[in-house]
Structure 1
Amino acid sequence: MILTQCAVCAAPLGLSLGKKCGRCSTRYCGPECQVQHWKEGGHDKLCKLIKKAGGAEQYNANKKYTEAVAVAAEACADDTKGQTCYICTQALHWKTKEGLVRGCACRGTAGFAHVSCLAEQAKILVAEAEENNLGPEKLQTTTCRWHTCSLCEQEYHGVVNCALSWACWKTYVGRPEAHWTRLMAMRQLGSSFSRANHPEDALSVQEAELAMLQRHGALIENILIVHGNLANTYEALQRPERALLLRRDVYSGWLKIHGEEHYETIREANNYARFLVDQKRFEEAKKLLRKTIPVARRILGESHLLTLSMRAHYARALYTDPAATLDDLREAVTTYEDTVRIARRVMGGGHPFLGPIERDLERSRAALREAPHS
């Protein structure tokens, strides 16, 4: 994780508390822990090595990246057997000797790659965009390569997403604190912790990011993004009251700044609606989704993951509501059937989005069968 804790006792330090090793910048809560780490924790042997790697934060990022790549390659070994990387055309990477991965929506013989090849591709695209002073829209397109497949245009998931997030952080951790690439990398790393069900690590990264943005007077849009990510983390940590306040404020904030057709407004409407369904606030969820699903269909299209996700949340609000009518149950089943059909065509059967909605489809059908028909 990002180094916001004492290396010895794990006391929280945020981004500025405590003290650092004068040579390698390893962080401690105070001189006692620093001395203990040198005498008993092996820091006397590692200090020069850490400094040579670029300091404690860079050393940690490099180490975590290597571990994440090994995990991803092992997890994908069966799927990638006998294939080659579509970027370098080799089975084993010529330098790192890492295996292949595939964690997107590509099927057949498409989409196999080395994490390091994907990372290098993303790094080059971002560097070219920076060098040519391209605008925000082009920068957004290029930074997507850190988390989205260039072939199927779907986001990476699971251990592949985690490995790419560490690659992104390792690449930009040495930039100045408020540089946009470093902030982007920090945000992606926090999101990968959330998706991997490590909310404590995600909270540490996201709180550090928020403190840094506030200290540098960041734009309200960036603050809203972090608040949205924090809401996800508070949910995972079973703190629904705090999550609800953030969800409502984040959606209202994007709506006020950019209107209902902006991508972030649509995304936060989806997140807010899902949370309302989870909290059994069915009428609020249905009202919000009836207003925002047509916008998502018009702006993003029928097959976009956000549109499909919103329709799935709407169907769940319909059939899990204890006050559901027969018409509600029929609409839920029809909505799920259409959503599953489109998702399977666009993303393939192995995408993690598909399994839960297929199970919900069966549950909605069961609810319809068991409902009294008059």
Structure 2
Amino acid sequence: MLLIQCACCAAELGLSSGKKCGRCSTRYCGPECQVQHWKEGGHDTLCKKIKKSGGAEQYNANKKYTEAVTVAAEKCADDTKGQTCYICTQALHWKTKEGLVRGCACRGTSGVAHVSCLAEQAKILVAEAVENNLDWKVKNERWVRWCECSMCKQGYHGLVKCALGWACWKTYLGRPETDKIYVMAMNTLGSGLDETGRHAEALVVKKAELSMQLRRGAPASSILAAQTNLANTYQYLGRLEHSLQLERDVYDGSLRLLGEEHRDTIISVNNLAATLFKLKRFEEAKSLLRKIMPVARRVLGENYELTIAMRMSYAQSLYNDEGATLDDLHEAVTLLEENERIARRVFGGAHPLAMQMEHDLKKARAKLRAHEIAEAMLATTLGDA
């Protein structure tokens, strides 16, 4: 599903064109490339190994997962030095020999673990729900463990989120398209890729997710969610007009289907405002955010990540607007100062949201100072006149 290039010449194949190796399902644009790859590309020695792993898609996912875990552990090495996994209590994993990671809001000695231990916990919880035929509310609650720390209850971020995305995908990719868990795994992988800036790869995943949801006749809410995921990646890639059209459709659809106070509707407003901001359509972005921020605070709470992100987006729209008044800049600085304190308390200073707000606060303060100096100079000049 996600291997969309010829293994020999790297030509784009889309989701269905080309041909596959009859043994291991490695994809090619045609028989010429397949023969060449067998003779010159090393496929003659890899074919049996790939088949034994479960086929080309599984082999690729296993490989990407191992690479992602290694990179994440290396990145977290200083933070986790001298500590042990809170799940298996070992510093070095007994089987994989991987190092430790921490990519949540935990601090001190909390939240340190091996990616494989986190993945195993999530896998067991979901498997129990499936085997006992529990309802989807419970399954969704269990699924959260793939994305959220069980200790601080905050989402994973950065390289750890990406590694868990690959862990999730390699666990469930053998399920049929019609299985909701297969779709959820694809979504988790796409989010993890976006988290580490691998947006071109995420775009492949999210296009496949939307196409699959349409094929299987998924509910309107699932289609809206897939469109939202795709729009986010278009935004990351700078394809803002593509993103804007999708986000308008999602916002309108969410209002009709779910109502203003639903979490997904609030998310759709935040996504739409973010794209409007990047297009420098600040007035429209501010208007949307003014309308929905009180709803987010009431429904989700002041400390919820989305509420904090929306307040940050509103402050960004205030101070980046070329027509910003002195009052606008004061409001932006005050809002960012309050928001940064909340973010640091809830997520810790290393969280991307807290770090982004620190960056925004410096810029907003600088712009405020420049505006105050300019007004003071103007007042002096007029007074002298």
What band does the TM-score fall into relative to the shorter chain? over 0.9
> Which amino acid letter does the alignment assign opposite residue 164 of structure 2?
L
- The 5 Å alignment of 1:287-302 reads 287-302=287-302
Distance across 2 between alignment mates of 1:214 and 1:12: 22
Is the 2:104–2:157 contact (alpha carbons within 8 Å) kept by the matching residues of 1? yes
Per the alignment, residue 312 of structure 2 pairs with 312
Is the counterpart of residue 70 in structure 1 residue 103 in structure 2?
Answer: no
Equivalent residue, structure 2, for 1:343: 343
In structure 2, give the amino acid aligned to 1:202.
Answer: A
> 1:319 deviation in Å?
1.5
In structure 1, the residue corresponding to 2:214 is in which secondary structure? helix
**Deviations 1:286-309 (CA, angstroms, capped at 9, x unpaired):** 111111111111111101110000
Normalising by structure 1, what TM-score?
A: 0.96
Q: Which residue of 2 aligns with 1:221?
A: 221
Q: What runs of 5+ residues in structure 1 fail to find an aligned partner?
A: none
**Structure 2 matches for 1:1-374, cutoff 5 A?**
2-371=2-371, 372=375
Paired residues of 1:14 and 1:208 also in contact (CA < 8 A): no
Q: Displacement, 1:76?
A: 0.8
Higher Rg: 2
CA distance in 1, matches of 2:362, 2:49: 56
Cα shift readout 1:174-218 (whole Å, capped 9, x = no counterpart): 111221111111111112222211221111111122222222222
More divergent stretch after superposition (341-350 vs 14-23): 14-23
The alpha-carbon deviation at position 42 of structure 1 amounts to 0.8
Aligned-pair identity (%):
66
CA shift digits 1:22-61 (9 cap, x unpaired): 1111111111111111111111111111111111111111
- Higher mean alpha-carbon deviation, 160-169 vs 218-227, is at 218-227
Q: So what's the TM-score if we normalise by structure 2? A: 0.94
CA contact (8 A) 2:2 2:15 kept: no
After superposition, the C-alpha distances for 1:298-350 in whole angstroms (9 at most, x for unaligned) are 11110111000000111111111122222222211111111001001111111
- 2:164 touches 2:192 (CA, 8 Å); kept in 1? no
> What SS class does the counterpart of residue 352 from structure 2 fall into?
coil
Residue 224 of structure 1 aligns with an amino acid whose one-letter code is L
SS at match of 1:353: helix
CA contact under 8 A between 2:172 and 2:181: conserved in structure 1? yes
Report if the CA contact (8 A) 1:115-1:163 is conserved.
yes
Give ranges in structure 2 of 5+ residues lacking alignment: 380-385
Q: What's the C-alpha RMSD, in Å, of the aligned pairs?
A: 1.5
CA contact (8 A) 1:72 1:163 kept: yes
1: distance between equivalents of 2:135 and 2:155? 23
Offset, 1:245:
0.5
What is the Cα deviation at residue 262 of structure 1? 1.3
Contact 1:234 1:242 in 2 (8 A): yes
Aligned residues: 374
Q: Deviations over 1:212-268 (max 9, x none)?
A: 222222222222222112212222332221111111111221121111121111112
Please give the alpha-carbon distance, in whole angstroms, between the structure 1 residues aligned to 2:37 and 2:254: 46
Distance of 2:347 and 2:196 partners within structure 1: 20
Query: What CA distance in whole angstroms lies between the structure 1 residues aligned with 2:211 and 2:29?
Result: 18
CA contact (8 A) 2:84 2:100 kept: yes
Moved more, 77-86 or 269-278: 269-278
Q: Secondary structure at the match of 2:91?
A: coil
Q: Mean Cα displacement is larger for which, 134-143 or 121-130?
A: 134-143
